[in-house]
């Protein structure tokens, strides 16, 4: 047998290019090894080891920030500056989830090390997901992410609401994977059909498929495949009409996992969508454009209207997350026409990460024994008894609401400017109305925390305002400061996404 083919293929694998993913994977395994090797008394230190090691990787990534483009693994993976930014993004998310998990998991009688293990695996898979340029690669990494999240969502398994959330996420996730897979198969099949111009066997590769679609810009089967693929991705980002799972799952999942879902999983979906829209489906802009525009409008309207009447903060943040997905979709819908929209998406994702984790951090500190029941009214009078937590919460919520001078406003501005340049005037009108509506429900939360009309904190909540540990408290303070600083000065990040 001739092995030269295999040797040639292997020569195309640049393992060094995916060192952050490999190191994360090894770290995840190391955690499990440590659990068996170390004595029980030292198990408390394992999450700290995980966080410290991740910080090390983060620093190494930042110091070796690679802004070049190169393909490796025979075109399965493409390294780009945006991909590098998303590596930092996912690593930051996993660090923050670990920090929240370290506090939230205490005293709940669930295995702790496995939680940190899965978070690392999921983060590594997300990195590979946004770097993939091949549908098989995309599907496999996506499933790694989703399967990991199935476990994490139902992690507090003694709570019925959490189990319900886990089941819902499993069923919905499986459905969306099926849609995505069906779409991929249709596209691959039609790309290989004999008798069509430009037919190709490389239909699994983004570049190969894009070339085929360019040659056949009005093929019905391809259109059906594209719509199915878009639907599969829409599930991940919680876009209308695939958002139904969001409130229940967000409420039931442990708070750190909710944060992971809301930020990292959603961001991964958006980056995939962005890559597909700008690099694979441009020939089908006649189809993708209207679909995305419609989806953006419906998502914004649904998310904001549904969030109006929520009193549970986890549901509120989940539905407001749906509306944020709508705003980002607005930028994605403009991306094929306005290049600046791509930068706007990345900027929005980064500020969303910072603001969301600020709020989730405060929620983790104040969460009671039942993690699923956190009400807005629990926050009334917070500012009086803990100005620190109230201030941090204010920065996070203000940034989510898009209030200047916080970073969230810059995100919205860049998105709106891009949408205006792309000529989406109707969508902008919807977006403006939605921003006004969103102020109302964020304001309700702020009002509870700041204006002393509705009584003081309950004793149970008041006993927790000093908790959370130094690490988490410092983390939320840093995040709040970042929200303010990024509002005034965007520096390197601005240069990176603007260039």
Other C-beta atoms lying within 10 Å of the C-beta of residue 387: 12
Closest CB to another protein among 467 and 494?
A: 494
Closest CB to another protein among 242 and 379?
A: 379
Q: Using the rule CB under 8 A, is 254 a contact of another protein?
A: no
Q: Using the rule CB under 8 A, is 385 a contact of another protein?
A: no
Pick from 302, 430, 413: nearest CA to 348: 413
Closest CB to another protein among 255 and 483?
A: 483
Q: Which of 12, 426, 469, 491 binds another protein (CB under 8 A)?
A: 491
Q: Which of 421, 462, 464, 467 binds another protein (CB under 8 A)?
A: 421
| Distance between CA atoms of residues 416 and 343, nearest Å | 12
Closest CB to another protein among 189 and 498?
A: 498
Q: Using the rule CB under 8 A, is 346 a contact of another protein?
A: no
Q: Which of 25, 217, 368, 404 binds another protein (CB under 8 A)?
A: 404
Q: What are phi and psi of 246, to 5 degrees?
A: -60, -60
Other C-beta atoms lying within 10 Å of the C-beta of residue 233: 24
| Distance between CA atoms of residues 478 and 407, nearest Å | 14
Q: Which of 28, 46, 414, 472 binds another protein (CB under 8 A)?
A: 414
Q: Which of 189, 387, 455, 466 binds another protein (CB under 8 A)?
A: 387
| Distance between CA atoms of residues 413 and 411, nearest Å | 5
Give, in order, the Cα–Cα distances in Å from 176 to each of 196, 205, 254, 274: 29, 21, 22, 18
On the 0-12 / 13-18 / 19+ scale of CB atoms within 10 A, 227 is middle
- Which residues lie below 8 Å from residue 261, measured CB to CB, with a gap of 6+? 149, 153, 249, 250, 253
Closest CB to another protein among 405 and 467?
A: 405
Which ranges constitute the DSSP H helices of 64-191? Answer: 81-104, 113-131, 135-153, 160-191
CB 178 within 8 A of CB 139: no
* Part of the chain binding another protein (CB under 8 A), chosen from 94-102, 198-206, 318-326, 399-407: 399-407
- Do the bridges between strand 70-72 and strand 77-79 make them parallel or antiparallel, or are there none, so unpaired? antiparallel
Q: Using the rule CB under 8 A, is 308 a contact of another protein?
A: no
Q: Which of 22, 29, 59, 436 binds another protein (CB under 8 A)?
A: 436
Q: Which of 451, 456, 463, 471 binds another protein (CB under 8 A)?
A: 451
CB of 383 to another protein, least distance (A): 8
Q: Using the rule CB under 8 A, is 396 a contact of another protein?
A: no
CB 170 within 8 A of CB 152: no
Q: Which of 139, 242, 409, 445 binds another protein (CB under 8 A)?
A: 409
**How many residues make contact with another protein (CB under 8 A)?**
39
Closest CB to another protein among 81 and 368?
A: 81
| Distance between CA atoms of residues 485 and 355, nearest Å | 12
Closest CB to another protein among 151 and 413?
A: 413
Q: Which of 403, 427, 476, 479 binds another protein (CB under 8 A)?
A: 403
CB 285 within 8 A of CB 218: no
CB 360 within 8 A of CB 258: yes
Structure tokens at 240: 């209308």
Q: Using the rule CB under 8 A, is 474 a contact of another protein?
A: no
Q: Which of 278, 420, 465, 467 binds another protein (CB under 8 A)?
A: 420
Q: Which of 20, 101, 391, 396 binds another protein (CB under 8 A)?
A: 391
Q: What are phi and psi of 78, to 5 degrees?
A: -125, 125
* Part of the chain binding another protein (CB under 8 A), chosen from 45-53, 151-159, 188-196, 398-406: 398-406
Pick from 343, 356, 352, 353: nearest CA to 414: 343
* Part of the chain binding another protein (CB under 8 A), chosen from 21-29, 178-186, 256-264, 408-416: 408-416
Q: Which of 158, 453, 459, 470 binds another protein (CB under 8 A)?
A: 453
Residues that bind another protein (CB under 8 A): 340, 343, 387, 391, 398, 403-405, 409-410, 413-414, 416-417, 420-421, 428, 432, 435-436, 439-440, 443, 447, 450-453, 488-495, 497-499
């Amino acid at each position: 047998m001739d092995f030269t083919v295999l040797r040639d293929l292997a020569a195309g694998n640049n393992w060094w290019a995916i060192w952050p993913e490999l190191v994360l994977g090894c770290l995840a395994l190391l955690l499990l090894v440590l659990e068996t090797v170390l004595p029980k008394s030292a198990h408390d230190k394992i999450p700290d080891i995980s966080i410290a090691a991740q910080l090390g990787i983060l620093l190494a990534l930042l110091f070796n920030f690679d802004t070049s483009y190169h393909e490796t693994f025979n075109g399965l993976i493409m390294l780009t500056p945006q991909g590098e930014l998303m590596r930092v993004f996912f690593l930051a998310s996993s660090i923050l989830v670990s920090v929240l998990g370290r506090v939230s998991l205490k005293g709940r009688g669930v295995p702790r090390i496995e939680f940190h293990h899965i978070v690392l695996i999921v983060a590594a898979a997300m990195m590979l997901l946004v770097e993939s340029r091949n549908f098989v690669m995309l599907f496999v990494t996506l499933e790694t992410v989703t399967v990991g999240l199935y476990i994490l969502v139902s992690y507090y398994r003694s709570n019925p609401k959490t189990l319900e959330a886990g089941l819902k996420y499993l069923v919905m996730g499986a459905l969306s994977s099926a849609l995505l897979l069906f779409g991929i198969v249709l596209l691959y099949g039609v790309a290989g059909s004999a008798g069509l111009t430009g037919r190709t066997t490389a239909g699994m590769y983004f570049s190969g498929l894009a070339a085929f679609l360019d040659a056949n810009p009005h093929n019905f089967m391809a259109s059906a495949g594209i719509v199915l693929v878009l639907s599969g991705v829409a599930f991940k980002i919680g876009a209308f009409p695939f958002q139904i799972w969001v409130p229940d799952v967000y409420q039931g999942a442990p708070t750190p996992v909710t944060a992971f879902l809301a930020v990292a999983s959603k961001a991964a979906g958006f980056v995939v969508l962005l890559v597909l829209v700008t690099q694979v489906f441009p020939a089908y802009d006649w189809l993708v454009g209207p679909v995305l525009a419609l989806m953006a409008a419906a998502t914004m309207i649904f998310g904001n209207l549904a969030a109006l009447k929520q009193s549970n903060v986890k549901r509120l943040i989940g539905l407001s997350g749906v509306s944020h997905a709508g705003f980002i979709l607005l930028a994605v819908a403009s991306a094929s026409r306005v290049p600046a929209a791509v930068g706007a998406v990345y900027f929005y994702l980064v500020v969303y990460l910072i603001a969301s984790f600020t709020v989730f951090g405060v929620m983790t500190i104040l969460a009671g024994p039942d993690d699923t029941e956190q009400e807005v009214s629990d926050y009334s009078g917070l500012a009086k008894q803990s100005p620190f937590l109230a201030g941090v919460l204010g920065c996070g919520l203000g940034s989510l609401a898009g209030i200047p001078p916080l970073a969230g406003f810059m995100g919205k501005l860049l998105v709106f400017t891009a949408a205006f340049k792309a000529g989406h005037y109707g969508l902008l009108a919807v977006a403006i109305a939605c921003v006004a509506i969103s102020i109302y429900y964020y304001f309700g939360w702020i009002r509870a925390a700041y204006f002393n009309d509705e009584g003081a904190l309950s004793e149970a909540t008041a006993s927790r305002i000093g908790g959370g540990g130094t690490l988490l408290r410092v983390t939320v303070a840093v995040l709040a400061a970042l929200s303010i600083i990024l509002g005034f000065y965007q520096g390197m990040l601005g240069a990176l996404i603007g260039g």
